[in-house]
Amino acid sequence: MNKFWTVFSHTFVTKLKSKPFIWTTVLFLGIILLFANIQSIIKLFDSEDTKDQVAVVTEQTEIFDQLTNRLQETEAEIETVSFDGSIEEAQEAVDNGEFVGILDVSVSENGLPQATYLSDDLTNQAIPSRLNSELEQIKVTMATNQAGLDQDVVASIYEPMNFETELFKRMMASL
């Protein structure tokens, strides 16, 4: 039985070191990476510089305006468009390819925004994540205004704390 494992390991290592095995492995890894990133590659060569349009269904024009301004200031790849119809009509517009998703914004009992993002593609989480973070900032601004806090106080709360790292020398005891 000892001879079997010796022969097997020698044959296995020889096959692993052979050029055809290495080239086919590299080729298949390249193909797998290509197919895993095909959407990114297509977007890279897409000549259109269009932003993803999201239909915003809301009666709160103040929140819509703030969201649109924040997305424009940060040069996001998302463009919000006010949609005057119902959610069902917006879903038809998404099915027709006019929009990538629908953002339904309303106001809670406390007067703070709450939203639901509807899309036919759940794999693209960049858009809902970005919209969520921008709406969170709008919510914080509205909450601080309702609480009567000064914007300078809020800015100091969110300001990063001073945190430094220093190296100290340890005294080594003589042996």
Beta bridge partners of 56: 82, 103
pLDDT recorded at residue 33: 94
d(CA 99, CA 47): 19
- Encoding tokens for residue 32? 């797998």
pLDDT recorded at residue 47: 59
pLDDT recorded at residue 113: 87
pLDDT recorded at residue 97: 85
Integer CA distances (angstroms), 107 to 25, 33, 56, 104, in order: 55, 44, 14, 10
Beta bridge partners of 68: none
Residue 20, number of CB atoms within 10 A of its CB: 8
- State whether CATH 3.40.190.10 applies to domain 50-149: yes
Residue whose C-alpha is closest to residue 61's, from 105, 11, 17: 105
Which amino acid would we find at residue 125?
Q
Ranges of CATH 3.40.190.10 domains, the chain: 50-149
pLDDT tens digit at each of 175 positions of the chain: 678 889 999 998 998 889 999 999 999 999 999 999 988 888 777 756 677 888 998 888 888 899 999 888 888 788 899 988 888 888 888 888 888 889 898 888 888 888 889 888 777 788 888 899 888 888 888 888 888 877 787 777 777 767 766 666 665 555 5
d(CA 146, CA 34): 51
